[in-house]
Structure 1
């Protein structure tokens, strides 16, 4: 049987292949950038370390009446007038799924941005893979890898991305298991009801999600005026505005309403939502994500009452 060549493939499939190859070419440099951020900015990362069952020392703290006397560290207590307990570090490994949007809208980069939305999303995803791998967590990418633990986790994910040029715009999230965390990096420009329908499986499986919205400053401020042609990167449809500035107020209202509605939905579920602009540092989003992953409310993977 004759092999179907690229020229015979549907236009959408050819475009997806081109985008995939461009993304694959970016990944090695983005992995280097992700590691640079991890090494120089987030030096204090310790995963979700906390008190619990384990072998490693965690901290000394004052003895509380009612605790077992066997837990008292008499050597430390002898140094002053207080009685101290030696806590150990909780060592249960946790699975964190990571996903970065690769749809056509992520290719956008205005003149005021430092990088494209796709570049920023991949850097953040690879940086999270690096941080989590270093702290002994299990990581996974839906539709790309199963959960695994490895010190070179980010490198393994990057290799898979390079050799997977046909990633779906939205992966099936049903494989994400109960009590896991998932980091989703996207522009989330789809109608909120579509995004909610896609993410609903995570809420039903009691997964804690962390959404990072990547925004180009021009998308948010709408700095256009005069006759301007706009093209939908997903469908190719075009809109020509004779005086683009007359659309600005309505556009900004709808743009922010979408974000506010999605963020409010996340808050109701106990999820985190943060925005990272492509004219700002990637590290800003990583710091906020670090705080969200380490936040109280999920103990040993279970939601607090």
Structure 2
């Protein structure tokens, strides 16, 4: 990396400074939308419980207030259905952080883990400032750490320290790069068990090799929750350099020459096809994706990103 070592592993003091960014600038991760908005705190949602204005009837899910069951619709359709009302109310927030070995990568300025930690910190401080409950899950190649949503600073500090510790572990140990589809699936299943409905879920990852089952889990979560994905990429992953490049999984090495047999062009085409396919499928289900990189600082990226309204199709 061309940047200094301070851009590889975040420190707690660096992450704490981001709280001033949120407080002093009124910084928000919110597109101006009533639903599918990122880290809104108190805002109207179609999925809320009892309120003044009737919104719709939907299928009953475990945890819904039984007083809102629409018995006429239930009798007609033979599917237990519940009335949904618009109500302004706090929304529990879960931040899911991918800290697998593949995230400890950056070719120029920052590592993906560094940007992921910063985004998680900003999200946490925004939630804390709004007085909502913050919780989340951090997963690596071996397991995951779960933080139950709470409305206090302690859980935020625990979460940030856990991310820093995991980033340090990635730096200290020579973890081999492994296929992580099963790890992501397990993490999402844990999230599904935590977030039954009415949660706001921010999932931070590079989303490399997203499996069909992972997509299915994300879609399932989005049915009764607001799900936002933050995809962190590095320019070297998008386009191979024309010079010779040594690739390694931690055990084996491979010499790669992008100019031979149009290897670089084929790689770039395949990368873009997978990326566009993933974006298109998520958009179909109203799941927005925030695209971040490892070149620009987090402040610049987010300010630029939210100048443009996120476009999502409503279900």
TM class, shorter-chain normalised?
Answer: 0.5 to 0.7
Following the alignment from structure 1 to structure 2, what is the Cα–Cα distance between the partners of residues 42 and 260?
Answer: 32
Q: Secondary structure of 1:258's partner?
A: helix
Bigger drift between 253-262 and 283-292 goes to 283-292
Compute the displacement of 1:36 (Å): 4.4
Check whether the contact 1:274–1:285 (CA below 8 A) recurs between aligned residues: no
Partner of 2:233: 215
Q: Secondary structure of 2:113's partner?
A: helix
Check whether the contact 2:219–2:285 (CA below 8 A) recurs between aligned residues: no
Partner of 1:141: 136
Note closer, same or farther for the CA distance 1:210–1:290 as it changes in structure 2 (3 Å cut): farther
User: Whose Rg is larger?
Assistant: 1
Following the alignment from structure 2 to structure 1, what is the Cα–Cα distance between the partners of residues 100 and 259?
Answer: 26
Superposed CA deviations along residues 230-252 of structure 1, whole A, max 9, x for unmatched, are 1236xx45432245563221111
| Unpaired runs of at least 5, structure 2 | 1-8, 31-39, 46-86, 138-144, 171-179
Partner of 2:21: 37
Note closer, same or farther for the CA distance 1:121–1:244 as it changes in structure 2 (3 Å cut): farther
Note closer, same or farther for the CA distance 1:163–1:240 as it changes in structure 2 (3 Å cut): closer
Determine whether 1:123 maps to 2:108.
Answer: no
Superposed CA deviations along residues 107-161 of structure 1, whole A, max 9, x for unmatched, are 11113xx211110011101110011111111111134211111256532422444
Check whether the contact 2:234–2:295 (CA below 8 A) recurs between aligned residues: yes
Partner of 1:184: 203
Match of 1:241 among 231, 252, 256: 256
Partner of 2:57: none
Match of 1:272 among 277, 288, 312: 288
Check whether the contact 1:124–1:286 (CA below 8 A) recurs between aligned residues: no
Alignment of 1:1-305 (within 5 A): 26-43=10-27, 47-50=40-43, 92-111=89-108, 114-142=109-137, 143-151=145-153, 154-161=156-163, 170=184, 171=187, 172-174=190-192, 175-193=194-212, 195-203=214-222, 206-222=224-240, 224-232=241-249, 236-244=251-259, 246-283=262-299, 286-287=302-303, 288=305
Superposed CA deviations along residues 84-122 of structure 1, whole A, max 9, x for unmatched, are xxxxxx7511011101210111111113xx211110011
Note closer, same or farther for the CA distance 1:237–1:134 as it changes in structure 2 (3 Å cut): same
Superposed CA deviations along residues 157-207 of structure 1, whole A, max 9, x for unmatched, are 22444577999953232222212121011111124535414534424x522
Check whether the contact 1:229–1:239 (CA below 8 A) recurs between aligned residues: yes
| Unpaired runs of at least 5, structure 1 | 1-24, 53-89, 298-303
Following the alignment from structure 1 to structure 2, what is the Cα–Cα distance between the partners of residues 128 and 254?
Answer: 32
- Count of aligned positions: 235
Check whether the contact 1:192–1:258 (CA below 8 A) recurs between aligned residues: no
Check whether the contact 2:106–2:234 (CA below 8 A) recurs between aligned residues: yes
Q: Secondary structure of 2:247's partner?
A: strand
Following the alignment from structure 1 to structure 2, what is the Cα–Cα distance between the partners of residues 199 and 296?
Answer: 15
TM-score of the two chains, using structure 2 as the length reference: 0.61
Following the alignment from structure 1 to structure 2, what is the Cα–Cα distance between the partners of residues 45 and 219?
Answer: 26
Q: Secondary structure of 2:207's partner?
A: coil
TM-score of the two chains, using structure 1 as the length reference: 0.63
Following the alignment from structure 1 to structure 2, what is the Cα–Cα distance between the partners of residues 291 and 136?
Answer: 27
Compute the displacement of 1:266 (Å): 1.2
Check whether the contact 1:276–1:284 (CA below 8 A) recurs between aligned residues: no
Following the alignment from structure 2 to structure 1, what is the Cα–Cα distance between the partners of residues 218 and 312?
Answer: 22
Note closer, same or farther for the CA distance 1:186–1:243 as it changes in structure 2 (3 Å cut): closer
Higher strand content, 1 or 2: 2
